[in-house]
Structure 1
Amino acid sequence: MEGRPVLSVVVLIAILGEVCCFNALDWRSQADLIDRLPGLQQMPTFNMFSGYLQASSTKRLHYWFNECTDPESRILILWFNGGPGCSSLDGLFIENGPIKFETSSGNVIENPHSWNKLGHTLYIESPVGVGFSYDTSSSPVNDNMATEDNLRAIKDFFLKFPSYQDCQIYISGESYAGVYIPLLIQAILNDGDEGLRRNVKGMMIGNGLLSTAINEDSLVYYAFYHGLYGTTLWNELHQYCCADKDNCNFNTIHNEDCMLKLARIHHIVSNDGINLYNLYADCYTASQSLMATAERYRQFRYMDQSYVTVMQKASDSRRLGLVPACSNSTLITKYLNRPDVQLAIHVNENLWEICNETVLKLYEKSHPDMSSTIKQIFATQEDFRVLLYYGDTDMACNHLGGEWFVDQLGYEINLPRRKWTVTKEDGSSQVAGFFKEFDRLIYATIKGAGHMVPADKPFEAYTMIRRFIEEEPL
């Protein structure tokens, strides 16, 4: 009998020791653990967390973190959507996150092509004002401020999750994240945190807006060679906008005649019932095309080449907010505005919109071309690698402009342009796209995908990212 209390004390000490050890590592993150998710029949075997990261004394960026299906993984993948002003939860639920919507029921189900099978995944809603992220002050919203906020938020993430500090970090995203990501990586490399700097290994940008001028120029060619306008307008463009047949600069308005011809092309591409983000996909709602007036198009077109957006109302007249043209955001908007969902993911009760119109209007862009930033990153970080991939049916940030951008960086090609393939479930080998390699940079296209590559071609996108991270030939 006298031995039993001693044994109990020993067991109690052991249990408390485990709890204390656990809390010492991750005590700050426990309040953010998602223990249930409405609409999901069974929680996955890995943990999901949602909450806020501190970007300043007044700013909080909402994050959603998914552990890898392999708990031993030492890979951490960050994801940012673009806009500027659009939520990264779009990427989580619609593109490459562990859960997605079942169209028929609106419930959430597991995504078989989730990137958290490749590593731990962290989605950050940035900048402040986007999604559930907020600022209690009236700070300016611009490229440099967004960069500083993102860097502070990442540092705060590692305070919440210190056991992931030694992970190899890959920063990914799409569209205007083509600006966010290089600036963030540059800030990390210039920061005094040697551990963070050492662990950043690469970036993976899908249909990125890397050069406004190149993107504008290439769109004119892309639209012509995809049959969106004919030879008459093509010849008129060269008459009014080009110094000669080999010297055309369509991103600068030369004269009124040139401006009118370019406006006609922009109307065809973005305002005439064609899906800007996937040329061969349907435009989901006819009302969007009708509501995208020339005035509204002009208002947003020159603010943001990556997201030409329109206001849309659902059939029940509930405001969905600013929505990418021809897109259907009903399921995700209704889901994330459910009180039980907001309670489950530990966010302040708030109206969630896929894109924030105020952020889009007020955001000040100061980096129209990312060439020098990317070159500086390569020069600073010897083992850093880059994947720039483009869905070849996207017109918002088209693959032709992406290739022009890569070519003008001036790096020597190690592997000339060629196809890359995937093996389908039936065992057949299919062409997934085309790619070329430089020293530490890969440019790739994904055949038949639009602006949101993981949504349109989930298996191909997953395969491409896996090969890149594992440094396999594409």
Structure 2
Amino acid sequence: MKFTLVLLVGILFFCCCSTLLVDHTHATTAVTTSSPPQRITSLPGFNGPISFAQYSGYVPVSTNSTEKRFLFYWFVESQSASSSEDPVVLWMNGGPGCSSLDGFVTEHGPFLLNDDGKTLRSNDHAWNKRANIIYLESPFEVGYSFTTNKNDHVWNDVKSANDVLQFLAIFFSELFPQYLKNPFYIAAESYGGHYGPTTAVAVLRANQHNQFPFKFNLKGFIVANGIMDDREDTNSVPIFMYQHSLISKSSYEDGLSKCKGDFYKFQNLPECSNVISQYYTSIVGVNPYDIYANCVGDVGPFASNNEKEENASFLETMKSNGWMKALTQKQGSSSSIHPLFTLSARVGSGAPCLAYKPQEYWFNLNEVKMALHASPLIPQDHRWQMCNNVVNSFYNRTYDSMIPFYQELLSNGIRGLFYSGDCDLAVNSLGSQNGIYALMNVMNGQIVKPYQSWMMEKQVAGFYQIWSAGSTTMTFKTIKGAGHMVPMTRPKQAQTVLYDFIFN
């Protein structure tokens, strides 16, 4: 979620896709003892009845005696009468560096935060109406999660997946063993397009190698407007812009010419980089997460001084470094960070065009931290942020494609769903669909249901296609009129897409 405006041109990594996630041995791994689950008994700002159980707290995911990494979770049980048998879904927002609790209070949690930052309202389309949902803040230092080693600035896809695996082992073996038998799904959004599949593969391999004295009942993975393949994501952006009249025909054709027909391959050519910078200069003020929605705050000549400063700094950074050059850096100093990340760090921890102040106000209230059991363990100087700029700056985006991970999961019977809001520019549906087609070409996937519309309330709600691949199926589904955070803009449709998949 959020920070993935970087995905306007894909997250352009130049490393090879490693297949190693966990150094497995045939010996089982003992899980780290955790505190008993702590039930949430009240929520500041919500006065209505709560008919389901919910729990939150910290789980240690490192056993090093010199440091501890603690991941924070908020677990809401299903509201249905069959909650003890309903599927369990792990949810992770992206960034990298953005909090899954933001997804809770702005997308599909049972309580949504009002604009005043003080009160909550019930969500009629909460995902836990029929499923048990784990909202996990990962990696460490995201949201309430933290490490005792403040010099640890090493974040990457492998470390993140392994930490989440350790969390899940403790969750299912110690905290909530009654749910170990339930169907389990891993869902993630945006940069979660890396989090989800890498974690799912770690879980799959843990089962295969008997890493724990139990088996996870992993049934499927869900990617929501997530990055998948750098080449496909990158090359789709200019054509998406052109098809939505964000750039002109002549500008698009100029880019094709100067980038030799491949924006990904020739991104570092000066003439290619310059024309791409011109593309993004032309859409400053457009909401990249929903091109038909307004930005929070004013833009252009009506912008505040802070907003004008953001735009000026953004353009200056692009001119000096180039948008593409900034994106190709995987980690390091602020000079290698995407310009919008640098801007965001100056004015807050939000993302372009999106509200973040209500969330940051509510989650930093002392009474909220106490109610959610973040206090007293959380360090006093630790502040909850929607998106952590430090994590984003130093996160090593390890892989350039998720296709090998999808392939491994599907080949082992783990079903896949990729859903995409079709108004999202940050991770647009064209690139995502092309990535799925590339996957099917590799796997020799066979079409089970050809591309067609799906309906809701007697209206077209989007389009979908299903393939048989490996020993199971892969589904690609669009949601008409939805942005990057589908449950935020089309909540009922998002809930339907989830339930159609996990109860199929």
**TM-score normalised by length of structure 2:** 0.80
- Confirm or deny: 8 A CA contact 1:224 1:234 kept in the other structure: yes
Equivalent runs, 1:25-174 vs 2, <5 Å: 28-30=35-37, 32-57=38-63, 58-70=68-80, 71-103=83-115, 106-137=118-149, 138-139=151-152, 140-158=154-172, 159-174=174-189
Displacement after TM superposition at 1:29 (Å): 3.4
Aligned to 1:230: 248
Q: Deviations over 1:6-33 (max 9, x none)?
A: xxxxxxxxxxxxxxxxxxxx99534x21
Report if the CA contact (8 A) 1:189-1:197 is conserved: no
Q: Which of these residues, 348, 353, 367, is aligned with residue 340 of structure 1?
A: 367
8 Å CA contact 1:29–1:161 kept in 2: the answer is no
Relative to 1, partners in 2 of residues 1:281 and 1:289: Cα closer, same or farther, differing over 3 Å? farther
Question: Which residue does 1:385 correspond to in 2?
Answer: 415
What is the alpha-carbon distance in structure 2 between the residues aligned to residue 276 and residue 358 of structure 1? 22
CA deviation profile, 1:396-431 (whole Å, cap 9, x unmatched): 1000000000011122211111000112xxxxx111
CA contact (8 A) 1:333 1:353 kept: yes
Q: Partners in 2 of 1:241 and 1:27 — Cα distance? A: 53
Asked if 1:463 corresponds to 2:484, the answer is: no
Q: 1:186 to 1:461 in 2, by over 3 A?
A: same
> By how many angstroms is 1:330 displaced?
1.6
1:289–1:232 CA distance, 2 compared to 1 (3 A):
farther
Identity of aligned residues (%): 30
Task: Report if the CA contact (8 A) 2:451-2:464 is conserved.
Answer: yes
Shift in alpha-carbon separation, 1:450–1:175, aligned structure 2, 3 A: same
Name structure 2 gaps, 5 residues minimum: 1-32, 299-305, 331-336
Of residues 422, 428, 431, the one that matches 1:401 is 431
Q: Which secondary structure does the structure 2 equivalent of 1:60 belong to?
A: strand
1:372 maps to which residue? 404
Q: Give the deviation of 1:72 after TM superposition.
A: 3.0
Change (3 A) 1:432 1:353: same
Question: What is the distance in 2 between the residues matched to 1:333 and 1:103?
Answer: 11
Distance in 2, matches of 1:251 and 1:49, equals 47
**Helix, strand or coil: the match of 2:431?**
helix
CA RMSD in angstroms, aligned pairs only = 2.4
- After TM superposition, give the deviation of residue 329 of structure 1 in Å: 1.1
Q: What does residue 357 of structure 1 align with?
A: 389
Residues 273 and 289 in structure 1, CA contact (< 8 A), matched pair in contact too: no
The answer to whether the aligner puts 1:438 opposite 2:467 as a matched pair is yes
Task: Tell me the alpha carbon deviations over residues 318-370 of structure 1, each in whole angstroms, 9 at most, x when there is no partner.
Answer: x9732111001121111001111111111125311000000001111111100
8 Å CA contact retained: 1:73, 1:120 = no
Displacement of 1:196 after TM fit?
A: 6.1
User: Contact (CA 8 Å) 1:170, 1:200: kept in 2 or not?
Assistant: yes
Contact 2:188–2:196 (CA under 8 A) maintained in structure 1: yes
2:139/2:145 contact within 8 Å kept: yes
Residue in structure 2 matched with residue 454 of structure 1 by the alignment: 487
Alignment deviations for residues 137-167 of structure 1 (CA, whole Å, 9 cap, x no partner): 2332111111110100111112111111111
Counterparts in 2 of 1:404 and 1:308: CA distance versus 1, 3 Å: farther
- Which one-letter code corresponds to 1:467 in the other structure? D
User: 1:375/1:37 Cα in 2 relative to 1: closer, same or farther (>3 Å)?
Assistant: same
Q: 1:118 to 1:311 in 2, by over 3 A?
A: farther
Partner Cα distance (1:50, 1:257) in 2: 52
Q: For residues 283 and 153 of structure 1, do their structure 2 counterparts lie closer, same or farther at Cα, with a shift above 3 Å needed?
A: same
C-alpha change, 1:82 and 1:105, in structure 2 (3 Å) is closer
Q: Identify the residue that residue 10 of structure 1 maps to in structure 2.
A: none
Name the residue aligned to 1:3: none
| Code of the aligned partner of 2:74 | W
Report the alpha carbon displacement of residue 373 of structure 1 after superposing the two structures with TM: 1.2
Q: Contact conserved, 2:86 with 2:130, CA < 8 A, in 1?
A: no
C-alpha distance in 1 between matches for 2:34 and 2:420: 40
Q: Is 2:358 the partner of 1:331?
A: yes
Q: Partners of 1:38 and 1:300 in 2: how far apart?
A: 41
Residues of 1 paired with 2:416 and 2:289: CA distance? 23
Give 1:252 deviation, angstroms. 3.2
Aligned to 1:4: none
In structure 1, what is the equivalent of residue 287 of structure 2?
A: 275
SS of the equivalent of 2:446 reads coil
2: distance between equivalents of 1:296 and 1:41? 47
Question: How far is the alpha carbon of 1:100 from its aligned partner?
Answer: 0.4
1:172 match: secondary structure: strand
The Cα shift of 1:213 comes to 2.1
Instruction: Output the CA distance in 2 between the equivalents of 1:115 and 1:109.
Output: 15
Give the superposition deviation at 1:294.
2.6
Aligned pairs, number: 427
Contact kept, 8 Å, 1:306 with 1:397, in 2: the verdict is no
CA distance in structure 1 between the aligned counterparts of 2:130 and 2:347, rounded to whole angstroms: 33
State the one-letter code of the partner of 2:353. C
Secondary structure of the 1:414 match is strand
| TM-fit CA distance, 1:312 | 5.5
Structure 2 residue aligned with 1:291: 310
Secondary structure of 2:141's counterpart equals: coil
Please give the alpha-carbon distance, in whole angstroms, between the structure 2 residues aligned to 1:143 and 1:47.
32
Any idea what SS the aligned residue of 1:413 has? strand
Q: Which runs of 4+ in 1 moved over 6 A?
A: 304-307
User: Does structure 2 retain, via aligned residues, the 8 Å contact 1:274–1:283?
Assistant: yes
The farther-off stretch of 411-420 and 392-401 is 411-420
Distance 1:230 1:400 in 2: 18
Relative to structure 1, is the Cα distance of residues 42 and 167 closer, same or farther in structure 2, using a 3 angstrom cutoff? same
Question: In structure 2, what is the equivalent of residue 6 of structure 1?
Answer: none
Structure with the larger RCO, 1 or 2 (CA within 8 Å, 6+ apart): 2
2:447 pairs with 413, 416, 434, which one? Answer: 413
Deviation of the 1:198 alpha carbon = 5.0
Q: Cα deviations across residues 80-114 of structure 1 (Å, max 9, x unaligned)?
A: 00011000011111111111023367411111111
Counterpart Cα distance in 2 of 1:37 and 1:53: 21
- Residue type matched to 1:221 in 2? I
Using the alignment, how far apart are the partners of 1:406 and 1:253 within structure 2?
23
Q: Which stretch of structure 1 is more off in the superposition, 319-328 or 221-230? A: 319-328
2:302 equivalent in structure 1: none
**Match for residue 177 of structure 1 among 167, 192, 207:** 192
Distance, in Å, in 1 between the alignment partners of 2:268 and 2:393 is 26
Tell me which residue corresponds to 1:218. Answer: 236
1:102-133 CA-to-partner distances (Å, cap 9, x unmatched) read 33674111111111112110010010110010
- Contact 1:83/1:176, CA 8 A, preserved across alignment: yes
